[in-house]
Structure 1
Amino acid sequence: MGSMARKIDIASGRAAIDAVQQGSVARTDTATAVRYLLQLLEERAPGRSVEVRVPPFGAVQVIQGPTHTRGTPPNVVEMEPRTWVALATGEIAWTDAMSEGRIAASGTRADIAALIPVRW
């Protein structure tokens, strides 16, 4: 990811996703799954017009378009880790997560529904 020097390898990423999907609550599994799925999103939609945040584990900037360099970006998508893993793996749909209030999205470009689920 842009802010992280080391990429997560496929085997580690998939193992962490599997663990989380099977109910693991281990912080390391959750962190690795979140970061791996963010890494895949960033690879799929490189750019700097939308920031996807999954605190406390990571954030990436994606999608071509107007960029920002200082302060809070105009287009932000934020959610908790379990929601991101479920969304990125296709367990839940963007529209359902939005209607349930599980995603905070602001800005005209903050709808990333077309980019998920990510291929993993």
Structure 2
Amino acid sequence: MPSRRSVDPHELRDAVETVVPWLDGVAERPPRSELAPAVRLSLRTLQQLAPGHSVEVRVPPFAAVQCVAGPQHTRGTPPNVVETDSYTWLSLATGGLTWEQALERGDVQASGSRADLARWLPLLRVSGRGASEV
């Protein structure tokens, strides 16, 4: 489980800006050492913006966080799960892709009545992407 330490917005921005060329299709997939911090910090930011334990958001192999207020799940597979790959997650986090587009394309698997993250996305603006900034 990620650290509970608050995410420094500058640290988040620096980590995400490193992978934007890949998200924009002008560079190859970055190395894990660049991709992991961008995913982990953005997931922790979501966790801070939507505190709670009713939804588990998974971006394998990098991280999983629990967020969104509601009933806390403690054993087995949670009833509210969101799972996607790092490219899709970071595209959602930066506004390059909307929640609805990701669902329509099948790039996000979301199950459960609380597994809609649209109200918290995007998390930050990067290179003209997104609508809200942390």
CA distance in 1, matches of 2:3, 2:92: 25
1:43-82 alignment runs, 5 A limit:
43-82=48-87
Go from structure 1 to structure 2 and tell me whether the alpha carbon gap of 1:106 and 1:27 turns closer, same or farther (over 3 Å shift): same
The normalised TM-score by structure 1 is 0.90
Alpha-carbon distance in structure 2 between the residues aligned to 1:106 and 1:78:
9
* Aligned twin of 1:25: 30
Correspondence list, 1:1-120, <5 A:
3-5=1-3, 7=5, 9-23=8-22, 25-118=30-123, 119-120=133-134
Rounded Cα–Cα distance in structure 1 between residues aligned with 2:95 and 2:75? 33
- C-alpha separation between the residues in 2 aligned to 1:18 and 1:5? 22
How many aligned residue pairs are there?
118
Task: Provide the secondary structure at the position in 1 that maps to 2:97.
Answer: coil
Superposition TM-score, scaled by structure 2 size: 0.82
Residue identity (%): 48
CA distance in 1, matches of 2:4, 2:46: 16
Letter in 2 for 1:50: V
- Secondary structure of 2:52's partner? strand
Return the alpha-carbon distance in structure 2 between the equivalents of residues 4 and 75 of structure 1: 19
Gaps of 5+ in 1: none
Deviation of 1:18 after TM superposition, in Å, equals 0.7
Counterpart residue number, 2:26: none
**1:25 Cα deviation (Å)?**
1.3
5+ residue gaps, structure 2:
23-28, 124-132
**SS in structure 1 at match of 2:54:** strand
**Is 2:51–2:69's contact at 8 Å kept on the other side of the alignment?**
yes
